[in-house]
Amino acid sequence: MNKITSVNELIDLTKTVRKDIVEMIHIAGSGHPGGSLSSAELFVALYFNELNHNPENPLWSERDRFVLSKGHVCPALYSVMARSGYFPVEELKTLRKLNSRLQGHPDMRKLPGIEVSTGSLGQGLSVAIGMALGLRADKKENRVYCMLGDGELNEGQVWEAVMSAGHYKLNNLIALVDRNNLQIDGVTEDVMQLEPLKDKWISFNWNVIECNGHEMSEVLNAFEKAKKEKVKPSVIIAHTVKGKGVSFMEDKAGWHGKSPNEEEKCKALEELL
């Protein structure tokens, strides 16, 4: 797939993705807008600039792999997949409908381009490590990317995986943490203290990069830094705002998993113009 290098074009695409997210979840009547909106820049940077992938051939052997560990934010994933050509944009309206390929969590059995079915939090990084080890064994240069939510870091399996990746020096693995500081039960630091988060990853032998997850140029630069690491796995901690782009959703834990009504949808779309 031809990559988009213009930061302004990528920013415009991010606005489109955010509108898709709001409209999809409104039509579905359920879903997770907060984390989908906070991670929009990360998804756009991945699918239109960073990943080597081929929408016309989802099983292309030379593709990079992407694992969405926090599977509930799949509206953002579906939007970038549709916009990059995996399936018609019109199909986004079928989110969470019976027999739709666009389930409430990604399903690899239904939708080509999904590497692994996710939804049970804490498991995605382990799968990504298996992929990275397999690619190394096959002497492949492909990379594996895995997105996690910061609330998801409460899961013990995540830290077993972090320890494993550091031990095996998986420099072909790049993790992304959507650090929006909120989860379904409230502020992450109130639910389970994560800080000092950067130091934790460093202690497990990871290369740690932090960025403003809503500044596209910073996100792109973070990916470039990660790819230059030749020994350790890398993690990009992207500092974001839950519900980014929609004023009444921003920094509100209540919008973790809630569908906007007609009035709220219209107001959100006006703000996202």
pLDDT tens-digit profile of 135-147?
999 999 999 999 9
- Answer yes or no: is pLDDT of 178 > 90: yes
Domains and their CATH numbers in the chain: 7-271 (3.40.50.970)
**pLDDT level of residue 226 (50, 70, 90 thresholds):** very high
Cα separation of 253 and 113, whole Å? 30
Asked if 205 and 234 count as a contact pair (C-beta separation under 8 A), the reply is no
Say if strands 144-149 and 65-68 run parallel, antiparallel, or are unpaired.
parallel
This prediction has a pTM of 0.98
**Backbone phi, then psi, for 105, in 5-degree steps?**
-140, 150
CA distances for 5 relative to 2, 101, 183, angstroms: 9, 30, 33
**pLDDT level of residue 273 (50, 70, 90 thresholds):** confident
- Answer yes or no: is pLDDT of 2 > 90: no
Average pLDDT over residues 5-18: 98
Cis peptide before 196 (omega within 30 of 0): yes
pLDDT of amino acid 200: 98
% residues pLDDT > 70 (the chain): 100
Average pLDDT over residues 124-144: 98
Asked if 68 and 118 count as a contact pair (C-beta separation under 8 A), the reply is yes
- Answer yes or no: is pLDDT of 1 > 90: no
Average pLDDT over residues 118-123: 96
- Nearest to residue 157, comparing CAs of 90, 245, 69? 69
pLDDT tens-digit profile of 39-93?
999 999 999 999 999 999 999 999 999 999 999 999 999 999 999 999 999 999 9
Round the average pLDDT of the chain to a whole number and report it. Answer: 98
